[in-house]
Every structure is written in C-alpha cells, then in structure tokens.
Structure 1
Amino acid sequence: MSSPPRHGPPAGRGPRARPGRGRRVLTALLATGCLAVAGWLHPHWPPGPGADGGQLPAARVLPAQAPAPAGAVPPDPDAPVPRPGEVAAAVDPALAGAPAGRRSVVVADALTGERLLERDPDVPLVPASNQKLVTALSVLTHADPGRRLRTTVVQGREPGAVVLVGGGDTLLSPGRSDPDAVLGRAGIRTLAEETARALAGRGAPAPTTVRWDASLFTGPAVNADWAPGDIAAGQIGPVAPLALWSHHVPAGEGPGPERPRNAAQDVAEVFAAELAARLAADGPPVPVPVVAPGRAPEGAPELAAVESATLAEQTGLMLRESDNHLAEVLSRLAARAADRPASIEGGRAAAAAALEAHGVRTDGVVLSDASGMSLADRLPARTIEHVVRLLLTDPTGTLTPGARALPVAGGSGTLEDRFDDDAERSARGLARAKTGTLNSVVSLGGHVSTERGRLLTFSVVLNEVTDPAAARDAVDRAVAALARL
C-alpha cells in the first residue's frame, strides 16, 4: 500500500473531551412480543410534517425532549416492509460504481430479521472499524454496563512509598475529576488531593516514591498483527490499564495528538507532581516523589480512589469516535469479566464467546484484534448485520447502549461530516452506523428508517478499494436510497 492504513480520529486530533452535544434520545419499543428497538440519538433534527404535508411515520418523528427509557415513540409495526426488488433497485445502482474488487452486502428488516438483499453475504472480508461492533457486543455481554472502573492509591510495602494502581480506566484527565464527562470523568489532580488528605489524616510523612501498578492487563501490549506504519503514525500502539486521555499525551486543556511511550508511567509522573503540589499547598515545598514500577502489596490499605464513566458510556465513546486504543482496552476488560486473562488472546476468546452466546454464526470470522486495525480480521456482512440487529433489538436493554452510541448520519461522531451531498441527504438523522476505513477497506454497518417508517439493518463491506473517498460516497448513497423507500 502507498501509505499506512488509517482510520479512527485523524492524525493530530484526539478523542473529544465531551461526546454529547445536546443530542436527543429516541427510545423505540416494539409492541410485538418482548422485542425492543433501541433508542436513536438525533443531534438537532426537529419533528415535522412529511414532504407531502402529511404526518411522518412514528419511526421518523423525533420527540421534543428525550423520553424516559420506558417511554416510547414506537416505530409503526404496520409500516410496510420494502420488497426485495425495491431494495435491490435502491442499493445496487449506488454500489455499482464503488471502486472495490470485493464486497459483502446485507440489508434486512430489523423487526423480523428477514433478508431483503444479499450480495456475497457470507464472504469474510477485512471489516476495518466495524470490528468494534463485535467488541461492543463482547463488553456489553460479559461486563456490567453500569460498572465504573476505579483508579486507586494504596500504601506501599516500603516506608515512604505509595502505589498507583490501574483499574482499567484509560480516560483519565491530568486535572480534576469531571462528573459530567466520559473522557476525563476521573482526574489525577483529584486523586492526588484525596491522597494528600488521607496521608495528612494519618500523620504520615510526604512519600518519597510513587510506584505504578499496571498488572491488570497481561500478555503483549502490542498486537503482532498491527502494521508498524500504523503504530508509528499513532493510530494504534501499546495498550495499558492506566492512561491519560485514552492513550494521548496531555497538551493544554485537552487531549493532544501524541501517543505516550509508557502510558502508565506518564500517569504516575503527573500524579507524583500533583501530590507534591498538594502536600506543599499549606507548608514548605515538598520534593516530587521518584516514580518507578511496582506491584501493590496484597491487602494494602487504600488511601484514595477515583471512578471512571460507566462501561456503557465508554463503549459509546469507543463506537462514536472510533477510538482504537479504547476498543483494545474494553476488549481486555470484557475478557476479565468473562473470567479470562485480560490480554489480546483473552479478548479474542471473549468476543468469540459473545457471538456464540447470541447465536451469531462464526464460520469465516477471524478476530485478530478489537479495534479493526489489523488486516487479519475477517467478518462477513451477515455477521455485522446480525450484531447490529442484536444491539438494536435486545429485549433486556443490556445491549442497547451500543445501538444508541452509533454515529448519526450527518450529525455525530465519525458520520458527522458525511451524507452531505444531495444524493445522500435523505439519510441525515435517520441512519445510524459504525464506520470503517483503511486504505483498501470501506465498511458501514447500522440501521436506517425508510420513508414509510420501517426500520432496516444493513452492512456493507468493501475490500480491494482503490479510492476510499469514492467508495464511502457510494455506500452513503446506498443508505440514503434505503431511507427513501
């Protein structure tokens, strides 16, 4: 390839500090059986009449304010299902000009699972970031979506030592905790302040050493299947259970473009400096403690702790912004929740177990990594569409955070700047999907409401792509054509 494959946040831009921007949540529940349709997030499209002046179908009407989870603006279960011929007439011409040598395409009815269009649906192709849909399924299947991760400080084994223990939160900020944030909900300055108070309360002297414990994750920190060029470009890299700004180097008030050489050590250095500053706030200067790796003694007294955003919120950020490092972290946390090693192999095994638990066929599936940066990953469109439908129709609500987090066409996340041409605008606000782009891969998997109010799920995976921008436009036109049915 002429340049390293890339996807996720572009070089020079880290994850956004605040993923929410006044979005509205549309929670849709089906009246048939116990099937539930997950809520959509719409940034700003107000409800209004249809093009002919009549009322829009319920699936296309957005509430004036977010309803309670049990309150519903349900899709019309009587809305007509498009005929397969109609779907083919909409999708095939749009994809005909896509510059791709191989493709796998599925369009289905979200309520019944009926396949309305199949084009090589069982061919396993490189999915790019659509791999993150499987990671989301694994996390939400194995772990408690409401769980928060604790970053703690405990008393060290030797005198004058404290240990900073990574609990899997890699969205730490160097400043104070922000309870309204996902990225930066837990802050190192807050942790240092609480530690200083705890030490003062014990009458303990200022620590001379801060050890950092990153033993939560095991095995290699770097996947052997990742391209060296992608690692050098900062698209992916070593994964630790303790990091600032989702494995970004702090810069000013927000996440910076650089990747840390040692994420856990960087957190420990920020903590040590903050702790010295807090201890010296009302007295003489305190030397910054020496920073070194180490393990927390078993049963060591806890001095302080900060808590992350929930795993559901972190999964949402991962999907919305296509955060590669966060996907790898969540994969290891899913493995740990499934009683497997919190490692690359453990993440693969947990993801495979999640697919099997939900009845998703795994023939042809290769789970090389959790982020989709590996060219060894393989997913057919039928697998991606099935995962989307599971997230969308989970009757328990456990999986629905994954559906709600999908970027909105023309409105949020990695779809914010797409669906902007005249041929694509019909899907703006009415389609939600996970993007995927590498140099030779374009993928999109999600759901869309038709003009008559029927909810469809879809997956398009293109490989051997020679022009990614043109391929993305072709896929967007295909989804927009579905919205016009």
Structure 2
Amino acid sequence: MRDRQQQQSSHRMYRRALRPASYLLVLLLIGLSANGVVAQEGQESSALEIPEVPEVPAIEEVERRDYPELERAIDRVLSDPELQRAKVGVHVEDAQTGEVLYSHLADEPLNPASNIKLITAATALDVLGPHYTFSTELATNMRSERSIDDLFVIGSGEAFLLFKDVLAWAGELRLQGIDTIAGDIIIDESAFAEGYLPPGYETRDTDASYRSSIGALSVNFNTVTTTVTPGAVGEPGEVRLDPPQGHIEVVNRTRTVRGSLARVQVSAIPTEEGTRIEVGGTIGQGAQPVAVRKRVDNPTEFAGAVVARAIKMVGIAFDGEVRPGAAPAPEVRQRLHVHNSSPLIDTIAAMNKWSNNFMAEQLLLATARGPGEPATWPQAIGKAREFMVSAGFDAETFSLHNGSGLYEGNAVSARQFVSLLRYMRGHAFGPEFIASLPIAGVDGSLRNRLREPHVAGNLRAKTGTLNNVTALSGYVQSRSGRQLAFSILINDPPRRAWVYRPHQDQIAQAIANFDE
C-alpha cells in the first residue's frame, strides 16, 4: 500500500511538471524568425505578484540500506578501465525521503559544465519568480506630429529578444504616425554594468555562438546567422545575414562550382568597429543553402543597427547615428512603446532544454539588478551563493564562476546537485523547475538519448558537456515507483568526454530500472 501511495504521489508530481512550457521553445527548433508580432504594453514587473516562498523543511539524514543489484549495475559501468582513469562522482537518493541508494566519490567538487544551469534556474526562480517579465522601452526627448528627435531604446536584459520583436516595435511607431527620426538612435544599456564577456569567457578566443557576449539590449542571442546559397557557376555564392543590419562587414570569397557539394567556411573576426564575417570555400550549384551561426562582439552597436534596419524597413526615415548613451529620466522622456517579454519560465525552459549559455548568463546577471543600479557579476554570483546557502549548502564546499558552466572555475559535487534537486522538488516553484528539464528521448538535449523502455519520457535531467566534462543530473521514477534524484559527473577522462555519454546513460538506465 505504501509503495502504491508513493507511486500515485510521484505520478501527480510528473503530471504537474509535464505541462507545456511555451510555444516560444519552438523558435529554438526552427531557427530565428523574422515574422512580426504585436508587442504588449506594460511596466517591467511580474505578471503576477510573487508569493512569499515558504521555508523548505531541512533535509534529514535517513539510514542507508544496501541495494546490491543497483550497486553491481553501476559498479560494472565504473569498472571500465578508461573511467578508472577519470574523476567520476555518482550519487542517487530517494527524492522524497533522502535515503541514499548509491554513492561514489559524491563529495568531490567537480566541474559540472552546463549542470551549473540548474543553479542558475533555481536562483532566478527563487529571486524573480516564474512570472517575471523583462521590458524594453522606446522613448524620445521631443516629438512633433509626425517626427521625433532622438529615439532611446532602453534594455533591461531580456534573453529572448528576436528580430521579429524589433520589427514589431518599428511597426508600432509607424502606426503612431511617426515617419521620421530626426536625431539619433541611442541604446541605453545601463541595466548592466560595462563589459560584454561573462566571467571565464576571456580564457578562450573562439567565434562560436555558444560563447556569445551579453548586454542589456541583446537581439537574437547576440549572434548572426550567415546563409550561403549558390550563384552562377564561376561566380561568388550569395551571402545573407540574419538578422539584417548594417553593422557587420562581410567579406565574400566563396565560389560557385558544378555539382551539389558545399565546402563553405565562415569566420567572425573582431574589429575596432565590431565584427567582420569572412566567408570562403566553394558551393555546388545544386547544393542546399549552408547556414552558420557566429557570435558578435559589440552587442550594443549590433542591436542598434538591427533597430535602425527595422525602422527603415517600415518606412520611417532615419539618417542619424546609432550610439550608446543614457536615456533621459522617466519624468522627462516621452514613452512611445514598451515591449514586455514572455514570462521568465519560458526563458528558463529554453535555457535548460537546449543548454543555451547566453540565456544563462543574462538570467543570472538579471537577478542582481536593483532599483536604479546596474547589475554586476560579483552581485550576481553573490545572489546564487546566497540561494545555495539558504538551501543548506556549505559556502566553503562549492565554487561558482558564471551562470552557464562554460569553461573552468565552477566546482560542485554530485551530492550537492542531488541536494539541490531535492530542495527544488519542495520549493514553491518546483513544478516549473522540473518542467524546464529535458525529457529523455523526447526533447531538448536528451531527445536522441535514453530512448529505452521505462527511461524515455520518464527521466528528466540537465546535460553538460565540455571537452573534459560530461554531466547528467535530474529525476527519474524507478520501476519500484520511487522518485529518485541523481547526479553523474565525469571529469578528465582519457578521451573527449562526450565519448563516455553511453557509460553515463547506462548508469541512468540502471537507476531507472531499480526495482526493490
């Protein structure tokens, strides 16, 4: 009877967590869309009042029993000679009672890669609440019947701002009868302190989109997609940038050849003005278009150029400059339009499902914003540490360096991740947290993994991958009906860490198939 009650309780928790996160997740599957949408008016605030988060009961130590079949199944995987040369932390607990079912080097702090996003998501939910929205304000210092002087665009750190949103703003101004901007387009990025690179990002020099810069006003994840299509044989291929703007310089060295093969290389090179995209190689006349996404180096100039292009696309005349600057005080400026983001939970779900580093850094930094004060990284890391300590963590036993888990500097143990998972299960916003995780064999970064019976559609977990790290932490219902929380961290194996995902999956399968 007790097992049946536990199983029914478990099913209820998962039914709550399985509700759709948002239609916005589709955008990350189909790419960046340029279709316009109608923005809503409103202030930067939560859509609903955030209830006071109740005190989560302290996690009590439960006497451990032996589960030899589970131990043998996991030990068999860990006995692989290559894993013997790696650092591996594994910890499994009953998510409700805290009983330890299995533990191996569970207290050793390891680099968790993108599992750090679990801490970022939990911190953002705890500090801001799932219904929090970001606003971007368009304002002017002077307006006549059909024209304005300067256009101020005031960002607040939204992580899911797309070109279609910017185009909708421009359309709104045009509908208001504005046909001329006589002054400049001024980007107010004062919501975030200066500096575009999150901590740790300076240790690498790559143009990859996963190393995106951040900014208070950021469009399309501060990345640009370069699409190359074939031209006439012997002529250069055609190059298109998305989103359209005049900020990025393009150097096209491609050549169209006969056949259907494409050998195209795209590089993003920092310049004093911003970013230069260099495109080379060959593309067959019968080849499919090649699309490559790269980071941009000056988010403010880039966003301003996107705004300027959208303004012109809807027929508003503009011949001024695009530059950073501070907007006039609210009581002085004239508000033209306010764009409100979707609720925070949509961004958290997209971040966790697809392991988006840009979103993670933007969200963590946003937790540090105060009234009239720009958010700084020391404050943001402090917010996450405060949350972890309030959740029962010893501040001396873990290290937080950034919000995404990219590169080095973060160190958390497998037992600590399981403690976080258990804590969030009882949190007021636990259902939103659980629903944000990828589902095995179904979606996100687990859509092509763990498709075996009883695991697919059952296990929810955050993935993490670096050259020397692979991580997997989450929840699963065992065959005996228990809700289990687990963490599997692998550091410094002899080969690239992704090679050991099958080992990780075998451990996860053993946990899911646990049957008393």
Q: 1:94 to 1:428 in 2, by over 3 A?
A: farther
Q: 1:450 is matched with which residue?
A: 478
Task: Structure 2: give runs of 5+ residues left out of the alignment.
Answer: 1-6, 21-63, 227-240, 244-290
Whichever residue aligns with residue 41 of structure 1, its letter is L
1:360-380, CA deviations, whole angstroms, 9 ceiling, x for partnerless residues? 333320001110013111001
Q: 1:375 is matched with which residue?
A: 408
What SS does structure 1 have at the residue aligned with 2:341?
A: strand
1:346 corresponds to which of 379, 382, 394 = 379
What SS does structure 1 have at the residue aligned with 2:369?
A: helix
Task: State the shift of 1:147 in Å.
Answer: 1.4
Cα distance in 1 for partners of 2:396, 2:367 equals 22
* Contact map agreement 1:38 1:392 (CA 8 A) in 2: no
Q: 1:310 is matched with which residue?
A: 343
1:4-34, CA deviations, whole angstroms, 9 ceiling, x for partnerless residues? xxxxxxxxxxxxxxxxxxxxxxxx9849xxx
Q: 1:105 to 1:338 in 2, by over 3 A?
A: farther
**1:328 and 2:361 matched:** yes
CA radius of gyration, larger in: 2
Cα distance in 1 for partners of 2:401, 2:74 equals 30
Cα distance in 2 for partners of 1:161, 1:29 equals 60
Cα distance in 2 for partners of 1:338, 1:143 equals 14
TM-score by length of structure 1 reads 0.75
**1:41 and 2:18 matched:** yes
Task: State the shift of 1:388 in Å.
Answer: 1.7
* Contact map agreement 2:191 2:373 (CA 8 A) in 1: no
What SS does structure 2 have at the residue aligned with 1:232?
A: coil
What SS does structure 2 have at the residue aligned with 1:258?
A: strand
1:355-406, CA deviations, whole angstroms, 9 ceiling, x for partnerless residues? 1122233332000111001311100111111112223332x2x232121111
**1:291 and 2:322 matched:** yes
**1:273 and 2:251 matched:** no
* Contact map agreement 1:210 1:291 (CA 8 A) in 2: yes
Task: State the shift of 1:272 in Å.
Answer: 1.6
Alignment of 1:383-394 (within 5 A): 383-394=416-427
Q: 1:235 to 1:445 in 2, by over 3 A?
A: same
Cα distance in 2 for partners of 1:191, 1:316 equals 25
Number of residue equivalences: 395
Q: 1:425 to 1:42 in 2, by over 3 A?
A: farther
* Contact map agreement 1:192 1:274 (CA 8 A) in 2: yes
What SS does structure 1 have at the residue aligned with 2:216?
A: coil
**1:484 and 2:494 matched:** no
Q: 1:301 is matched with which residue?
A: 334
Q: 1:388 to 1:340 in 2, by over 3 A?
A: farther
**1:248 and 2:219 matched:** no
* Contact map agreement 1:227 1:374 (CA 8 A) in 2: no
Task: State the shift of 1:205 in Å.
Answer: 4.7
Q: 2:74 is matched with which residue?
A: 91
2:299 corresponds to which of 263, 266, 275 = 263
Cα distance in 2 for partners of 1:452, 1:224 equals 43
**1:170 and 2:147 matched:** no
What SS does structure 1 have at the residue aligned with 2:305?
A: helix
What SS does structure 2 have at the residue aligned with 1:118?
A: strand
Whichever residue aligns with residue 485 of structure 2, its letter is T
Whichever residue aligns with residue 459 of structure 1, its letter is S
Q: 1:119 to 1:349 in 2, by over 3 A?
A: same
User: Alpha carbon RMSD of aligned pairs, Å?
Assistant: 2.9
Task: State the shift of 1:463 in Å.
Answer: 0.9
What's the % identity of the aligned pairs?
Answer: 26
Q: 1:133 is matched with which residue?
A: 118
Cα distance in 2 for partners of 1:227, 1:444 equals 26
Whichever residue aligns with residue 117 of structure 1, its letter is Y
Task: State the shift of 1:247 in Å.
Answer: 2.0
What SS does structure 1 have at the residue aligned with 2:87?
A: strand
Q: 1:188 is matched with which residue?
A: 166
Q: 1:381 to 1:323 in 2, by over 3 A?
A: same
Between stretches 357-366 and 116-125, larger displacement belongs to 357-366
Between stretches 221-230 and 260-269, larger displacement belongs to 221-230
Whichever residue aligns with residue 18 of structure 2, its letter is L
Task: State the shift of 1:292 in Å.
Answer: 1.1
* Contact map agreement 2:213 2:295 (CA 8 A) in 1: no
Task: State the shift of 1:166 in Å.
Answer: 0.8
Whichever residue aligns with residue 216 of structure 1, its letter is A
Task: Structure 1: give runs of 5+ residues left out of the alignment.
Answer: 1-27, 44-80, 176-186, 281-285
Q: 1:472 is matched with which residue?
A: 501
Cα distance in 2 for partners of 1:146, 1:316 equals 13
Q: 1:208 to 1:276 in 2, by over 3 A?
A: farther
Q: 2:466 is matched with which residue?
A: 438
